[in-house]
């Protein structure tokens, strides 16, 4: 595609060395995307020798896939022209619209024909029986009429109302002729003329076109933040296979605060580094699934063999007495306790095969649950801490003010506190996702190294958090400041190592999973 070539030309002189966990992308305002659209239209219009409006309809019909359009057009131009709603089937006889390029422009002439026909020119393009009455509104005072290439003529007022409705209510950019069953699509100049007095709807129409272009182009993605009109271009993350090695976290537009950060590869609207999309998705699904609740019930409870009440054994011996029906039974074999004779504290049927199997199944499920909970609790803890960051920010702000009062530090000099809180927040996000990753990592040296990095980062983060929570005494402020500043630098470095090493691992294919993961063999 053009755009890629264009991008490469300009991206050669890199300012700084990119980190492994960062990816190359470009944030584009709507005007830049509009230029990309115009480039594609110009390109096609040049190759086929058709008007820009026809090229636009052709591209929209083929979802902006230029290669396929060119291929199909060269194969059978008239069929594509009809399918795209540019000319009516009967008109698209090979003589008028052959694959021959010089003749291809004939469709262009017609396109310009119906542009003129609308509104400004009171006279319809073809002689209509006079007086002509619009078959929609039957208003015989209407004087201005318009029709697409199909010659289905209606008054300009009806066209405007119809086009406005399609754009405003249905969000439609391919606006078909009003006649029943007619597949012709209104070209842009026609729409523009109909919307002469309504620049807002014309604007909306263009926005719909840009959205369609972005949605059709795997290199582009709209910023998911409400009312943001920026688009991010990230060709490196456009293919599914690329997403097994990189985590394409991008930020749109330079102005937003906090920045609009989102993942280019999946719908998770937050930074899920260092974990790749498929693992992050799997983990979130697991956390959401009720199956874990069921798993817990399975691991921790049994049903009374008499009244079927669910019982959780939270301690004590195997001699159970159901609270509800007073049935006495053995927790191990589930048989009535009376059969256990005098062996009060051990079940003599413990070793029977059925009992052993049941026990195995239960302990397996319990072990897997415990494993999950280990990771989940830590994940949730960091999530929770991050959620409390709003509070922490407020608290920190207060402390910063306090410091200014009790010491002679300036506002600038107490910023170290805020910086530290920012860093803690960032690292907790990283830590959170490392637990999702660790849950799926296959046991082995690589996982151990991963968990070493994780442990170092976590320890550093907790140390810094504690420092931030400590009481402020005027005499310790200088030492506190030094400590916090040092720790912040250290934590930031640990975070860097964590992200960098994990990202490298993905590129090198170093990580092995304990479950099948999308995109891995």
Partner 1 sequence: MASISARRLRKELNEINVEGCPAGIKLLSADNFDTWLFSIEVLGESLYQGEVFKLMFRFDANYPISAPAVQFVVDETRGAPIHPHIYSNGHICASILGTEWSPVLSVSAVCVTLQSMLASCKVKERPVDNDRYVRTAPDNPKKTRFQYDGDTV
Under the binding rule (CB under 8 A), the answer on residue 165 touching partner 1 is yes
Under the binding rule (CB under 8 A), the answer on residue 450 touching partner 1 is no
Under the binding rule (CB under 8 A), the answer on residue 197 touching partner 1 is no
Between 1 and 161, whose beta carbon lies closer to partner 1?
A: 161
- Which span sits near partner 1 by CB under 8 A: 159-167, 186-194, 395-403, 472-480? 159-167
Between 67 and 180, whose beta carbon lies closer to partner 1?
A: 180
Between 85 and 505, whose beta carbon lies closer to partner 1?
A: 85
Active site residue 317: yes
The strand pair at 231-233 and 220-222 is best described as antiparallel
Between 169 and 473, whose beta carbon lies closer to partner 1?
A: 169
Give the total of residues touching partner 1 (CB under 8 A): 18
Query: Shortest Cβ distance from residue 129 to partner 1 (Å)?
Result: 17
Number of C-beta neighbours around residue 458 at 10 A: 21
- Restricted to residues 134-153, the positions that interact with partner 1 (CB under 8 A) are 135-139, 152
Lookup: tokens for 139? 């208003």
Lookup: tokens for 164? 């406005």
Report the residue from 1, 3, 179, 287 that binds partner 1 according to the rule CB under 8 A: 179
Active-site option among 317, 322, 333, 427 = 317
Report the residue from 122, 129, 131, 181 that binds partner 1 according to the rule CB under 8 A: 181
Under the binding rule (CB under 8 A), the answer on residue 183 touching partner 1 is no
Under the binding rule (CB under 8 A), the answer on residue 169 touching partner 1 is yes
Lookup: tokens for 233? 């271009």
Half-sphere exposure of 201 (CA within 13 A, CB side): 23
Per residue in 167-196, is it b (16+ CB within 10 Å) or e — as a string?
beeeeebbbbbbbeeebbbbbbbbbbbbbe
Per DSSP, the three-state class of 263 is strand
- Restricted to residues 96-135, the positions that interact with partner 1 (CB under 8 A) are 135
* Dist. CA 164–CA 142, nearest whole Å: 19
- DSSP H stretches of helix in 247-320: 277-288, 291-300
Under the binding rule (CB under 8 A), the answer on residue 174 touching partner 1 is no
Report the residue from 85, 104, 125, 157 that binds partner 1 according to the rule CB under 8 A: 157
Under the binding rule (CB under 8 A), the answer on residue 322 touching partner 1 is no
Q: At what angle do helices 415-440 and 389-406 cross, to 10 degrees?
A: 150
Query: Shortest Cβ distance from residue 183 to partner 1 (Å)?
Result: 11
User: What secondary structure does DSSP assign to 432-449, as a single string?
Assistant: HHHHHHHHHBPSSHHHHH
Comparing C-alpha atoms, which of 412, 388, 394 is closest to residue 481? 412
Query: Shortest Cβ distance from residue 138 to partner 1 (Å)?
Result: 5
Place of tokens 């009809």: 82
* Dist. CA 126–CA 123, nearest whole Å: 8
Which positions touch partner 1 (CB under 8 A)? 135-139, 152, 154, 157-158, 161-162, 165, 169, 178-182
Could you list the active site residues?
Answer: 317
């Amino acid at each position: 595609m053009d755009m890629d070539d264009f991008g490469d030309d300009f991206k050669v002189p890199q300012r700084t060395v990119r980190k492994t966990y960062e990816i190359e992308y470009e944030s584009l305002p709507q005007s830049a995307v509009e230029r990309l659209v115009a480039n594609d239209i110009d390109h096609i219009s040049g190759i086929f020798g058709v008007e820009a409006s026809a090229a636009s309809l052709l591209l929209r019909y083929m979802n902006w896939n230029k290669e396929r359009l060119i291929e199909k057009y060269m194969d059978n131009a008239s069929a594509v022209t009809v399918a795209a709603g540019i000319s009516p089937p009967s008109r698209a006889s090979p003589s008028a619209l052959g694959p021959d390029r010089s003749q291809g422009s004939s469709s262009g002439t017609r396109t310009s024909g119906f542009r003129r026909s609308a509104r400004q020119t009171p006279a319809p393009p073809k002689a209509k029986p006079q007086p002509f009455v619009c078959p929609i509104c039957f208003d015989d005072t209407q004087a201005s009429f318009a029709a697409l290439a199909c010659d289905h003529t209606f008054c300009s007022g009806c066209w405007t109302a119809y086009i406005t409705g399609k754009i405003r209510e249905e969000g439609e950019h391919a606006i078909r002729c009003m006649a029943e069953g007619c597949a012709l699509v209104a070209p842009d100049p026609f729409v523009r003329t109909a919307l002469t007095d309504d620049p807002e709807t014309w604007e909306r129409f263009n926005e719909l076109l840009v959205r369609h272009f972005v949605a059709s182009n795997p290199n582009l993605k709209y910023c998911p933040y409400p009312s943001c009109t920026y688009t991010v271009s990230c060709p490196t993350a456009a293919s599914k296979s690329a997403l097994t090695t990189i985590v394409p976290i991008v930020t749109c537009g330079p102005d937003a605060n906090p920045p609009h950060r989102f993942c280019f590869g999946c719908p998770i609207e937050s930074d899920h580094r260092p974990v790749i999309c498929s693992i992050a998705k799997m983990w979130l699904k697991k956390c959401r699934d009720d199956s874990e609740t069921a798993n817990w019930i399975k691991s921790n409870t049994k049903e009374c063999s008499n009244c079927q009440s669910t019982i959780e054994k939270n301690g004590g011996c195997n001699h159970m007495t159901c609270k509800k029906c007073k049935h006495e039974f053995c927790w191990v074999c589930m048989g009535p306790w009376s059969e256990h004779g005098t062996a009060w504290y051990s079940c003599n049927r413990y070793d029977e095969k059925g009992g052993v199997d049941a026990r195995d199944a239960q302990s397996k499920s319990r072990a897997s649950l415990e494993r999950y909970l280990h990771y989940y609790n830590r994940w949730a803890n960091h999530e929770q801490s991050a959620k409390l960051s709003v509070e922490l920010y407020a608290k920190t702000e207060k402390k910063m003010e306090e410091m200014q009062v009790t010491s002679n530090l300036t506002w600038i000099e107490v910023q170290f506190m805020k910086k530290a809180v920012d860093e803690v927040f960032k690292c907790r996000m990283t830590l959170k996702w490392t637990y999702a990753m660790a849950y799926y990592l296959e046991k082995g040296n690589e996982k151990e190294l991963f968990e070493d990095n994780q442990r170092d980062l976590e320890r550093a983060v907790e140390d810094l958090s504690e420092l931030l929570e400590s009481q402020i005494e005027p005499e310790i402020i200088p030492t506190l400041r030094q400590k916090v500043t040092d720790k912040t630098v250290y934590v930031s470095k640990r975070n860097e190592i964590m992200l960098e090493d994990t990202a490298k691992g993905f590129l090198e294919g170093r990580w092995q999973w304990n479950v099948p993961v999308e995109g891995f063999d």
